[in-house]
Chain A
Amino acid sequence: MKFLSDKAVDRLRQNANAPDLSGTRYQLLERVARGGMGVVYAARDEMLDRRVALKVLDVPVADGDLACRLNREARVLARLEHPGIVPVHDVGTLADGRVFYTMKFVEGQRLDKHIEAVISLPDRLRLFLRICDAVAFAHARGVLHRDLKPANVMVGAFGEVLVMDWGLAKMLRGPSTGVLEEDPDATILQAPKASDSPADATQATQVTGQGTVLGTPGYMSPEQASGDIANVDERSDIFSLGAVLRFLCTPPAREANQSHAWRHDKALEAICAKAVETNSSNRYISVSDLSADVSRYLDGLPVSARKETIFDKAVRFYRRYTVAILLIAAYLVMRILLLIFSHR
């Protein structure tokens, strides 16, 4: 038996795992990322002469569970035509039996990388609102994402925000029939680890095999983590969005000491806290409600997550009309000074 050097083993591993695209309209370009169920490659669609992302399963599976799951992911994406959700182009089977689908190739950065360059809190919150738009749309179509986290959001070169990796998505109901489509193989089995660090929490989700799904610690709702599938619904995604919001509200290290830019805001903290309530019935009822509260916060209006005291109202009023208040104050001071000098 021939001895294989380390180099030969690496080469075999790399070459044998690359998808064999012969007989398809795609030409393999490079490996891009690893997703939940397989690997994502960049490929060229030779018919349309464009770059696409090609997601392919790790293994050919005769029993079809994983293949079904990848197919389902493609169908979920096909159902969700929204500017904030990456569009799917094609589904097929490679010559080696592996299922694949192609989707738009998004040139940009993952949210967790992108926000390193976004210093303004309002700009970060506006990014968050666009994520909410996409998730609210999916919920309206009866689809739960179940793995929302910064690493699964891409920000394109022109600022477009796309929610990616719908591999763990669950269809709550058919689009027209309203019939429940249960997804028993996507059971969440592993409880989150004690890791609250955003850096740890953005580590990739893993799917280790049929029926065993590991979510992402820190972004997974308690009901998901405990495998309480019956109670996983839109509010589970709201929990994940709350964790994403908290991540976005964490100032970059270089800004952490500049209190004027990143002051601790009770209203924003209340929004995060309500979204990540342990008891799902205490969370926002819908993503639109969460999104509306964040919008109100951005507009300097009261948020539903927090009852204001008079002092809070005054502070908010001051923040909202700072310029006008300062101008009026300046005017009044000048008038008073004029009065004083004119009576002398």
Chain B
Amino acid sequence: MAGDRFPVTRWSVIDAVKSEDPAEQVRALDTLFAAYWKPVYKYVRLRWNQPAEDAQDLTQGFFAEVLERDLLAKYDLAKSKLRTYLRLCVDSFVMNQEKAARRQKRGGNATHVALDFQGAEGELAGTTIDAASIPSPESLEEFFEKEWVRSLFALAVEELRKFCAERERERTFRIFEEYDLSGDPEISYEKLAAEYAIPITDVTNALSWARREFRRIALERLREICASDEEFHREARAVFGSDAA
């Protein structure tokens, strides 16, 4: 069966952080940080109106706190989505930090993921969101979700690029990038076919393959950062099928 080619992994960060194996724990935390650091950073910048430098410290500090206080192990999936739980943890962390006036520099247990704050700052500059326009908890949740989806998709796109490179399908990725990611309203199958001197059917086949792989990767990453199958199905709907017709 075709479906057997795309098994959805059972591995979840919540299970993994409780594992006895330190390597498994590190892997889990890396996965979580990769998916969440940008949403957290942007959220701290906008929701808490923090300058870039302080937001960077707070973001690093937050993930250090996740490790030190074992916050993932305390997560109760019956109470909320993992995403909501983390956002509330960020709120609580920032409030505590503000009370403490200045953060302490944190060392040894810090995340292994290199955080490209400059890049995140550039992305923020490109967004037109005004902090004053997102006062309600619902809109904050919406903003955090939007950034989380963006982060998840960006990770999946990056992984797809590597996947294509390993299989010598760079052209497929370029077609996907130009058609689905560039946002160019003028782009068309015909234009791409002419650009790469291939038949239109090759363009549509390449797009079809790339989208399928992108979807598979995104769902695999999503499964990893969800605590349960139920949450995964719910989040998959939110990520891919939110616009109920």
Contacts and interface: CB of A to CB of B under 8 A. Distances in A.
Interface of A: 1-9, 11-13, 15-18, 20, 22, 31-34, 39, 58-63, 66-67, 93-99, 204, 208-212
Interface stretch (B61-69, B87-95, B96-104, B151-159): B151-159
Contacts of B154: 1-4
A1 B115 CA distance: 11
B41 interface: no
7 contacts: A4-B181, A17-B215, A22-B208, A32-B245, A59-B236, A63-B229, A212-B230
A12 B153 contact: yes
B180 interface: yes
Interface string B198-234: 0000000101100110111011000000000111111
B6 interface: yes
Interface in B120-160: 122-123, 126, 146, 149-150, 153-155, 157-158
B234 A209 contact: yes
B197 interface: no
B233 A20 contact: no
A71 to B, nearest CB: 12
A61 B149 contact: no
Given A3-B119, A16-B215, A62-B3, 12 more contacts: A1-B119, A2-B154, A2-B157, A8-B181, A15-B211, A20-B212, A31-B245, A32-B245, A59-B8, A97-B5, A208-B230, A212-B230
B240 A16 contact: yes
Given A1-B154, A20-B211, A20-B212, A60 B3 contact: yes
Nearest to A30: B245
Closest 8 interchain pairs by CB? A97-B3, A209-B230, A209-B233, A17-B240, A16-B215, A34-B244, A7-B183, A97-B6
Place the interface of chain B in its size category: 35 or more
B114 to A, nearest CB: 11
B118 to A, nearest CB: 12
Contact of B215 (A67, A96, A212): A96
B183 A5 contact: yes
Contacts of B29: none
A98 B3 contact: yes
B112 interface: no
A108 to B, nearest CB: 16
A34 B158 contact: no
Interface in B1-15: 1-8
Given A58-B236, A96-B215, A4 B8 contact: no
B241 A34 contact: yes
B237 interface: yes
A99 to B, nearest CB: 8
B116 interface: yes
A11 B245 contact: no
Nearest to A95: B2
B239 interface: yes
A209 B232 CA distance: 8
A108 B1 CA distance: 36
A67 B233 CA distance: 13
